[in-house]
Chain A
């Protein structure tokens, strides 16, 4: 009963929206009636999939159905490229072009001396940032073209990155890095680097240098390791493309290396701080008091060292605590949100007329509500609630 009436109300709502929005679509250079029908078709198909609308009921959709079929598939395509399609494509292409490795070794030496000729390498790095920041779709396109020419091993890494990037962008880089997943850390490095810059002025320069320059050098290093394996395959023609890819590979390896410092970051900082207390004085936003204390200290370096250490430790603790705190806060929030979402599949959306409480007994009157309970959508005009707290 409820389901059928709910379904009917939903259909009416869809129809009502379509009617009232039609002018916007057809007038003033709007996308046109066609797009509106596509919208309705996709919307209804989603509703049917969700079980909120009973399939056969579509009255107006009959004419629309042909169109919806077309639009729906493209939609799926858009989603797919993000993860699945690209991954599959990339590996195959890469498999086809194992020879690239040979080229890498050659290029590896180049990066150190002549960067311009090795333009391919720069492209590689450029791709990374784009992949990290841009939508997966953009990345997919780029990768889809190039990866095919590359080796198998690189492709998986690259493929994995884009999805990771999306999450990583805001997420805590360090924790993931700790997990040890090679792919994740790499992506994280990119993002973490900026974060590191914000947090500590000292670090950024190192990372920057490491991020870009090392990538090229790293390629050489990585290449050395890969050279032996790569030598087996010989495809010079694709060199330019390969180089770019190799550049990426090394970059990844280097990034991995760079990750370690990041993770260790706090400790290295401590060392740095110990050696050069002044840094902390300037950098320490949190501990202005410490700065005052430190200022006198620097001249006395040897004698003050212990005192500085203690102060530094405190300062370090602050620094260490704060970044983790922020990260943890985010995590906690996410966890809570997820927990809420996961634990409350059942949801009631309504308007309240009145909410009262007597001791631990709550009473409320709701109206115009939509309930999603036990996978059923139920609408109500009025609802009364009695809760014990």
Chain B
């Protein structure tokens, strides 16, 4: 199963990465095993998003920067408005990083 390393940059991914870094530096964990854990995280996170999350969000804003490189879209929005079912958030500047969903299904 193909996975993205994309979600490692999320809060949960960063927390895991930090934890693994510390344990590898400690010597309690081998780097190889740490990578295996990260790969498993990629899979589990992707799967959880597909199966457990049902919410829908709309995003509006001024597109400050767009970039498409290596099948990854990067948008930097200014004055963006995020709306979902139960809340909406206003953000002065937000970065959106999106990988091609078709790569996962291949």
A residues contacting B by CB (< 8 A) are 1-2, 5, 9-10, 12-14, 16-17, 20-21, 24-25, 30-31, 35, 38-39, 42-43, 46-47, 50, 52, 71, 74-75, 78-79, 340, 343-344, 346-353, 355, 362, 364, 366-374, 376-389
A351 adjacent to B12 (CB under 8 Å) = no
Contact, CB under 8 Å: B82 / A42: no
Q: Quick one: which of B30, B46, B82, B99 has the most chain A CB within 10 A? A: B82
Q: Tell me whether B87 is interfacial, beta carbon within 8 Å.
A: yes
Let me know if A38 and B101 touch, CB within 8 A: no
Q: Which of B28, B77, B104 contacts A31 (CB 8 A)?
A: B28
Asked if residues B20 and A370 are in contact (CB atoms below 8 Å), the reply is: no
> Given the complex, which residues of A lie within 8 Å of B43, measured CB to CB?
20
Nearest Cβ distance between residue A121 and chain B, in whole angstroms?
32
Q: Closest CB of chain A to B17's CB: distance in Å?
A: 10
Q: Can you list 25 contacts pairing A with B, beta carbon distance less than 8 Å?
A: A1-B85, A2-B87, A17-B37, A17-B40, A30-B33, A42-B19, A43-B16, A46-B19, A50-B15, A344-B94, A346-B93, A348-B97, A349-B6, A355-B68, A362-B63, A366-B96, A368-B50, A373-B89, A373-B94, A378-B82, A379-B53, A380-B55, A381-B53, A383-B58, A387-B60
Q: Given A21-B36, A372-B10, A385-B59 in contact, is the A39-B96 Cβ separation under 8 Å?
A: no
In the bound complex, CA of A349 to CA of B98 (Å): 6
A144 to chain B, nearest CB (A): 18
Shortest C-beta distance, B97 to chain A (Å), equals 6
Minimum CB–CB distance for B23 against chain A, Å: 6
Contact: B33 with A25, CB < 8 Å? yes
Chain B 27-49 per-residue mask, 1 if CB under 8 angstroms from chain A, else 0: 01110010011001101111111
Cβ contact within 8 Å between A381 and B56: yes
- Whether B47 contacts A35 by the Cβ 8 Å rule is no
Q: A13-B12, A75-B22 are in contact. Are A38 and B100 (CB under 8 A)?
A: no
In Å, the complex CA distance between A35 and B29 comes to: 8
Closest B residue to A44 by beta carbon equals B15
Known: A344-B95, A350-B97. A52 touches B11 (CB 8 A): yes
Do B29 and A352 touch across chains, with their CB atoms under 8 A apart? Answer: no
CB–CB A387/B57 < 8 A: no
Among residues of A, the one whose C-beta sits closest to the C-beta of B97 is A349
Interface centre among B7, B12, B18, B101 (most CB of A within 10 A): B12
Q: How far is the CA of A352 from the CA of B88 in the complex (A)?
A: 21
Which residues of A lie under 8 Å from residue B28 when comparing CB positions?
31, 35, 38, 71
State in angstroms the CA–CA spacing of A355 and B37 once bound together: 32
Q: List B contacts of A350 (CB < 8 A).
A: 6, 96-99
A31 and B15 within 8 A (CB): no
- How long is the Cα–Cα vector from A340 to B11 in the complex, in angstroms? 17
Q: Which residues of B contact A35 (CB under 8 A)?
A: 23, 28-29
Of the listed residues A9, A46, A352, the one surrounded by the most CB atoms of chain B closer than 10 A to its CB is: A352
Interface size on B, residues (CB 8 A): 68
- Which chain B residues (50-88) contact chain A, with CB distance < 8 Å? 50, 52-63, 66, 68, 73, 75-77, 80, 82, 84-87
> How many angstroms between the C-alpha atoms of A54 and B79 in the bound complex?
29
Residues on A with C-beta less than 8 A from B47 are: 16
State A351–B48 Cα separation when bound (angstroms).
14
Nearest CB in chain B to that of A341: its residue: B95
Beta-carbon contact of B89 and A367 below 8 Å: no
Task: Output the nearest chain A residue to B34 by Cβ-Cβ distance.
Answer: A39
Residue of A nearest to B38 (CB): A17
Residues of A within 8 A of B10 (CB): 347, 349, 370, 372, 377
CB distance from A304 to the nearest CB of B (A): 51
Q: A366-B96, A368-B49, A368-B50 are in contact. List 12 more A-B contacts (CB 8 A).
A: A2-B55, A17-B37, A42-B23, A43-B15, A46-B15, A50-B15, A344-B94, A347-B94, A352-B98, A368-B53, A383-B58, A385-B61
Question: Taking A346-B93, A347-B95, A369-B57 as contacts, is the C-beta distance between A12 and B52 under 8 angstroms?
Answer: yes
Q: Knowing A352-B99, A368-B101, say if A386 contacts B57 (CB, 8 Å).
A: no
- Which of A16, A20, A380 is most buried by chain B, counting CB atoms within 10 A of its CB? A380
Residues of B within 8 A of A46 (CB): 15, 18-19
Contact between B29 and A39 (Cβ–Cβ < 8 Å)?
yes
Q: Which A residues are in CB contact (< 8 Å) with B41?
A: 13, 17
Q: A9 vs B49: C-alpha distance in the bound complex, in angstroms?
A: 8
For A42, list chain B residues within 8 Å (CB): 19, 22-23
Residues of B within 8 A of A340 (CB): 76, 95
Contacts A373-B82, A385-B59, A387-B62 given; does A368 touch B19 at CB 8 Å: no
